Structure 1
Amino acid sequence: MSLIQFSIEQRTAFLTLASPPLNILTLPMMREINQCLDDLGRQPSNGFQAIVIAAAPECTAFSTGISVEDHQPSTAYQTLQEFHAIYRNLRVLGKPVVGVVRGQAFGMGCELVAYCDLVIAVTTATFGQPEIRLGLYPPTASVLLPRIIGWRRATRMVLLSEVLDAAEAQRAGLVDYVVPQDQLPAKTEELLAILHGWSAPVLESARRALHTAYFHDIDAAMQAIEDQYLNQLMSYADVQEGLRAFREKRKPVWQHH
């Protein structure tokens, strides 16, 4: 492991993004995350009670999303498969997932926050889906965000690239708790102490019940969006123009095809 720090301490599995400064979600990084989750799947069911996803102290962002180099037509399929595997692995594990957010959570970084069951953010954290600026759209957010924050707010984030600060994200329902930076460790410990106070199998069963009821059609929705994204969107010339413009640090010149 070179991009992820992984440990189990006091019945909590800590999965720490450690690719400073921005925790860009490259394919190798996502593969490491899934390797950690595979390792957790081999642990005794009572060996841990919660999962915490956070950024290492040396990182200035939770994650600014996918690597543009990994998001070419030749690699888009692998990227979506690997990222959606994170969600599916978390569902299979069945443990509550706590996201701890400092700095930016953009693109797939914001979608990773949406994968979490409970989210703590510092007051200066920001959340956004900037993909439309690059001639793309966020497939996972298109499925998850309307369910989590509602249709209207999700539409503005995806179509207008609206960025939410921590307070707005809390009001929208993407974030549960907002605290100053110096209170982040204490708030995380407080939340974990509550989770650890319950029966482990009952807690897991309750989490599965919530996901079954609320996300019962999620796999079909993700598959439909994957198909549209890979077989339609990635064929547009404007997608390649948007990615080129980002690499060249210029404004895209859209051809509208």
Structure 2
Amino acid sequence: MSDPKDSTDELAGSEQPFVQHLMELRDRLLYGIVGLAICMALLAFWPGPSGLIDLIATPIRAHMPPGAKLIAVGVFSPFFVPIKVLAMAALLLSLPWWMYQIWAFVAPGLYSHEKRFAIPLIVLGSLLAYVGIAFVQLFVLDKMFGFIQQFTPASVAATPDIASYVEAILSLYLAFGLAFQVPIVVVLLVKTNMVTVQKLKEFRGYFIVVAFVIAAVVTPPDVISQLALAVPMCLLYEVGIWGAQWFIKNTAAPEAPAEDAPAK
């Protein structure tokens, strides 16, 4: 007698050889790289590397003396720094395309209820990354540089090096972009049965301490940026708990049909 599960398993017969999986992964990586190259070409045309540098330098220039500019100490900094900024901006712009390629690679191995669970997380993860980076650009950098400039002696000209400035803000972009993924991590932990919602609620106090420790490690040594990272992480932790409850309720696997009772 055939197993009833064989007729209901929607993935039955969809297995592929390992080499075919590698070829599919290669194709998805190539598609992602092509998308990245297109984004780089578009950004190189407008606003251009110089325009991107001017954009990310806006927060610190607002707190510099009138007419002051960032300086390039390194011999090759005027060339390599704009290219680095252009590549990072292109990567951010192509993030949804990369997420789609990841989705297209793993989707054939997912059940329909798992797809309903994965798609919202992919979209939400991309949006949260953008929100985190925008939060840095529009709020954190301005407040942070304003705080730092208060301690600059009048006899010192604050003219930072463009290479060190770009490295610092890119690290902040990365830190906040990852930190804003807290709800996604929380939902995945609950969805994979690694932890329960009740345990997350009990861990709330410990997470606040962890959030402030992480903020102290990954941000510059100023109170503004540390609070700007730790407080949203704590709020997003609560959002993750709520989101985990919602996802569990709305993306549960359908119950398997009951097997026939054995004949007497």
Considering fraction of residues, name the structure with more helix.
Answer: 2
If each structure's strand is expressed as a fraction of its own residues, which one has the higher value?
Answer: 1
| Larger Rg belongs to | 2
TM over 0.5, shorter chain: no
Query: Given the two structures, how large is their TM-score scaled by the length of structure 1?
Result: 0.22
